[in-house]
Structure 1
Amino acid sequence: MSCKTLSCLLLLISSYAILGFKIPSIDFEMLEEQGFEVSIPDEPGIQRVFYMLQVDDTCPALMDYITEAVNGSWVSRQKMSLQNNDKLQISLLVQFNEEIFEKSETKVILNKRLLTTRDFSSRSISFPSGEGECQAFLAPQQQTKRCKPAQTIVSNGRRACQGELIFEDNFSEAQLNKSTWKHDIRQRMYHVEEELVAFDDAVRNSFVKEGELHIVPIVASEVTEGSFKLGDRCTAVESPDQECNIAQGSFYSIKPPVFSAQIHTRDSFSFKFGKIVVRAKLPKGDWLFPYLMLQPVSTYAETHYAKQLRIAYARGNAFLRTKKGEDISGSHLYGGGVVWHHGNAVQFLKDKVSKTHYGDGFHNYTMIWQRDKITLMVDEEVYGELYDGLPFFNEKCFIIFGVTVGGFLNFDDSILEKDVKPYKNREPRAALSFWQHRDAWAPTWGRQSAMIIDYVRVYAE
């Protein structure tokens, strides 16, 4: 790497610095015959420090990349001995709370003591244009890559480099990381039935096992005895009276026939524009529906009829056709956007039909969200590009994973033949009808009814 190249690199990175943080003064110490060291004191928020040191404008330049503070300081120790009248130029980049700050100082040595210091704060680093190019020594594992700014904006507002991994969960811990993921806890059968499920945080409905997240829908043991109350655990935002409780003895209401889980990153991570990859095995079973999606931060995971970017979905049914004969079973994959307008859904979708159910194995589901286009992929194959509906998604979105049952939009009565479904969406006793016909759908459920997620990764785009 030449000094000229490094200068351009540092200029590019430092251009993202913002005001509000001042790099502390650089401390300098001679180490007799052992060289010298430079350091800055640690402060909360400093994440890493990059030093470049040059003596008397000569080459090679010395570079050091420090990833952790030692005894309260970010220290670079060098074995080069300094002589009288040596001029040491110190340039450093400091990553502070995801932003980059730059500082340069020049120190002159007289009788092995510091004579003068010139401090240049927040400026670019310049190098002499002498003969040839100055080669800077840097260990291979410390080499930095040129950052091409991405359009992606992360939760805290910072900018990222194109291709940078900005979020990842491999579910390698023994339990779900509760600082990253929060559970949606409420029942979904309010007003006329919307979805025939209650989301809960019970271990039986969501757990991590052998590096994979399992979201498991479970049929209730009974639905009529007693009332259903979630109490203070309920996360409902818009209709807590209806979503947190079901009164005993209601004519049209029963307790939820199915319990499942839905988790989200609203409080921990969101982004605007980027590439999200989810490796997952979708659930199999009649009337099951997976949620792998993004939702705007202006909403809550519990928001009724929220705008959604659906990364991918395939219905759980092994066999399901519309009145027109279209196959909408689990072998038919969809992805795209859903926008609710005056209570009605407007869908911007692309699809791909497979010979097998998407719940038969793991697949990589990818959505590349850009300003002017959304690209949908499965197993690295592009199956659709969307240009419509993007203005509806002009803010950061968070991640939602879940498995639900039924739903107005997921299984639309108007496109299915009469008596195909064991219930009608808008019937007052839809949940009861669904429950009473469980002998027809429950046998299609089993171990394959869990949605299993291997990992989720988000890259800047």
Structure 2
Amino acid sequence: MKMSQILFAFFVILSQGIIDSQYIPPQATVLPLRPVGIRMSIPDEDGISLVAYHVKFNSEFRGLEAGTIARDITKVRDSKWTYEDRSTKLKEGDVIYYWIHVVYEGLGYNLLEQQHVVNEFYDYNGVPIEGSAGPGPGVSTSCSPTLTKHFGVNAEEQSICGGQLIFEETFDNQNAVNNLKWTTVEQFPGNPDYEFVVYRNHKENVNVENGKLIVTPTLLDNTCGSDFVRDGNLTLHKCTGQPGTRECQRVTQGFHILPPVISGRINTKNLFSFLYGRIVIRAKLPKGDWIYPVLALEPVDEQGSYVGNDARFNVQLRVSSVLGNPVLKSAEGDELGGRILRGGFLSRTTLTTANLTTLRANDGTKYKTSSKLWSDDYHIYEMEWKPEVITVKVDGESYGEKWFDSPLQTPFYITLGVAVGGVAEFPDGCKSQDYTKPWRNVESKALLHFYLAQPTWSKNWKPESKSLQVDYINVWAL
């Protein structure tokens, strides 16, 4: 049974017992949206832990019905408890009937027999639209043009309007990743980063808890024993890579050991992608030596998509990137660690020597320094992608732009995860607190040297801080 159904039954049982209570839920603000949608909200008060909206259109409730819309809101945002969709089509004169259930200090309270007559519309920023008293019956609602292109399952293009919310993930009322929106990756990584992990589809590494996506790196030693890293044969039975390749199976051979870290990664490839738009992610980043988060857009065209004076490959648009080492200095003494936020455009080219990669062939990322570790708190990371420029923001503040002579011309999908080590993120010779990075990027024994130093770096991985926690993701059309 869904949580909303359980709560609805609970509300009906308790409604008589709570009707005489002193607490009265606040009145709701109702905003009919253009081109389509509805937004309902009440202000937050200390003691509120859940707000449920029950809505019908042009038909009154007969008692405590669930309604056409029955939605439980379990998280407050911007000091409001808000329900919003971008699919409800309203016209002038429509009557919105609703009732609200509020859980306040552990008890349930109802605000019954509410209604709103549609006589004004608002844009998606909540600003009244002048002269917006709606088209009459049979007249289509206006739809502003947009540069954004939105692609659904199997890259089928969707019709959208300017300013429209085209992707939303809040992780509410879930106990697992929604496989209609996300693919949970299970495979060994490769070009361009060659991370020192194996991505696994397992709740220990990828989970949804309390309305948040939790991605956690763990040690292969703790799962399979220390001998397995040096002598094991690992086949991924839920492999999302190419069957019969090193993406799905690895066998230890000499110093070519198995990755010592298991981690998690999800993406929207083949389910959702877009060309130009604005993505917003609220997240708490992981902390720990040689850990780094992946909050990025990757091209549907895996061969790269940047069209300029020369071909560039392995393009990635980073919504946010922070190295997990709390203290990390380059060989020259420059700060690299958890107080440096990077975001923007990044591309890499592939070396033929040892099948490894250059560090950064074209680093167009921008950075912002903080007096605190970025991983200490939740922040809102944002990227606005237009044909001529990419702008990155944090907590509403812009910190950099990347301009293009020629635009990116292929759709990108969303990737979230936690990576460790690899041959591209951490420059050789950098020093983490009191020890030097234990591997070189262009060397055949990089993975082995990283593993031999495990007693040093793993002691800095704390259970309460080594995970990536994602609260919500929104993508908007321009």
Q: Same fold (TM over 0.5)?
A: yes
Q: Distance in 1 between matches of 2:213 and 2:399?
A: 26
Displacement of 1:64 in angstroms is: 6.9
Q: Which residue in the other structure is 2:234 paired with?
A: 229
- Gaps of at least 5 residues in structure 1 are 1-8, 11-46, 53-61, 67-132
Residues 134-185 of structure 1 deviation map (CA, whole Å, 9 limit, x = unaligned): x87879xxx9975321111000323422221110000012221012111221
Matched residue SS, 1:329: coil
Residue identity opposite 1:399 in structure 2: I
Q: 1:327 aligns with which of 311, 316, 335?
A: 335
Q: CA deviation at 1:215?
A: 0.3
Q: Secondary structure at the match of 2:297?
A: strand
From the superposition, tell whether residues 408 and 240 of structure 1 become closer, same or farther in structure 2 (CA, over 3 Å). Answer: farther
2:450 maps to a residue whose letter is F
Change (3 A) 1:251 1:152: same
- Relative to structure 2, which stretch is displaced further, 359-368 or 306-315? 306-315
**Rounded Cα–Cα distance in structure 1 between residues aligned with 2:207 and 2:383:** 25
Contact map agreement 1:282 1:290 (CA 8 A) in 2: yes
- Equivalent-residue separation in structure 1 for 2:134 and 2:286 (angstroms): 54
Corresponding position of 2:419? 404
Query: Following the alignment from structure 1 to structure 2, what is the Cα–Cα distance between the partners of residues 397 and 220?
Result: 32
Q: Secondary structure at the match of 1:434?
A: helix
Identify the match of residue 437 of structure 2 among 391, 415, 421: 421
Give 1:314's match in structure 2, choosing from 319, 322, 335: 322
Residues 277-426 of structure 1 mapped to structure 2, 5 A cutoff: 277-299=280-302, 306-343=314-351, 344=358, 345-388=361-404, 391=407, 393-413=408-428, 420-426=436-442
Q: 2:330 corresponds to which letter in structure 1?
A: T
1:243 aligns with 2:251: no
Are 1:443 and 2:459 counterparts?
Answer: yes
The residue aligned with 2:273 is 270
Identity of matched residues, %: 31
Larger Rg: 1
What is the rounded CA distance, in whole Å, between the counterparts of 2:188 and 2:415 in structure 1? Answer: 17
Paired with 1:197 and 1:413, the residues of 2 have a C-alpha distance of: 19
Which range moved further: 283-292 or 380-389? 380-389
| Deviation of 1:336 (Å) | 1.2
Question: What residue identity is the alignment partner of 2:208?
Answer: V
Q: Which residue of 2 aligns with 1:460?
A: 477
> SS in structure 1 opposite 2:147?
strand
Residues 244/407 of structure 1: CA separation in 2 closer, same or farther (3 Å cut): same
The separation in 1 between residues aligned to 2:419 and 2:144, in whole angstroms, is 40
**Residue of structure 2 in register with 1:186 after alignment:** 187
Counterpart of 1:149 in structure 2 is 145
- 1:150–1:159: 8 Å Cα contact kept in structure 2? no
Could you tell me which amino acid in structure 1 is paired with residue 472 of structure 2? Y
SS of equivalent residue, structure 2 residue 364: strand
What is the SS of the residue equivalent to 1:160? coil
Cα distance in structure 1, aligned partners of 2:455 and 2:391: 40
How many residue pairs were aligned? 332
| Corresponding residue number in structure 2 for 1:28 | none
- TM-score relative to the length of structure 1: 0.65
The one-letter amino acid paired with 1:241 is T
- Letter of the 1:434 partner, please give it: F
Flag the 1:448–1:63 CA change in 2: closer, same or farther, 3 A: same
Q: Is the 8 A contact 2:192 2:350 kept in 1?
A: no
Q: CA RMSD in A?
A: 3.5
User: Counterpart amino acid of 1:411?
Assistant: F
Give the secondary-structure state (helix, strand or coil) at the position aligned to 1:400. strand
- What letter is aligned with 2:251? A
Query: In structure 2, what is the Cα distance between the partners aligned to 1:347 and 1:376?
Result: 14
Offset from partner CA, 1:78-117 (integer Å, 9 cap, x none): xxxxxxxxxxxxxxxxxxxxxxxxxxxxxxxxxxxxxxxx
Q: Deviations over 1:331-374 (max 9, x none)?
A: 10001112223544321111000011111010000000001111
The Cα shift of 1:437 comes to: 1.4
The equivalent residue for 1:24 is none
5+ residue gaps, structure 2: 1-33, 36-85, 97-130, 305-312, 352-357
Cα–Cα, structure 1 residues 259 and 165, in superposed 2: closer, same or farther, change >3 Å? same
Alpha-carbon distance in 2 for matches of 1:175, 1:316? 26
Equivalent residue letter for 2:466: S
- Residue type at the aligned position of 2:235: L
The letter for the 2-side match of 1:283 is P
Residues 1:396 and 1:438: Cα distance change in structure 2 (over 3 Å): same
Alpha-carbon distance in structure 1 between the residues aligned to 2:90 and 2:416: 42
Given the superposition, is the C-alpha separation of residues 191 and 299 from structure 1 closer, same or farther in structure 2, using an over 3 Å criterion?
closer
Change (3 A) 1:50 1:441: closer
Q: Distance in 2 between matches of 1:359 and 1:353?
A: 13
> For the structure 1 residues 144 and 285, does the alpha-carbon distance in structure 2 shift closer, same or farther, using more than 3 Å as the test?
farther
> What SS does the aligned partner of 2:459 have?
helix
Letter of the 2:341 partner, please give it: L
**Aligned partner letter, 1:317:** N
Give the whole-Å Cα distance in 2 for the aligned partners of 1:210 and 1:136.
39
Q: Matches of 1:274 and 1:191 in 2, distance apart?
A: 27
Cα pair distance change 1:180/1:220, threshold 3 Å: same
SS of 2:245's equivalent in the other structure is helix
Residues 374 and 386, structure 1, Cα contact 8 Å, conserved in 2: yes
Return closer, same or farther for 1:51/1:457 CA change in 2, 3 Å cut-off: closer
Is contact 1:193–1:430 with CA below 8 Å preserved after alignment? no
Counterpart-to-counterpart distance in 2, 1:406 and 1:370: 32
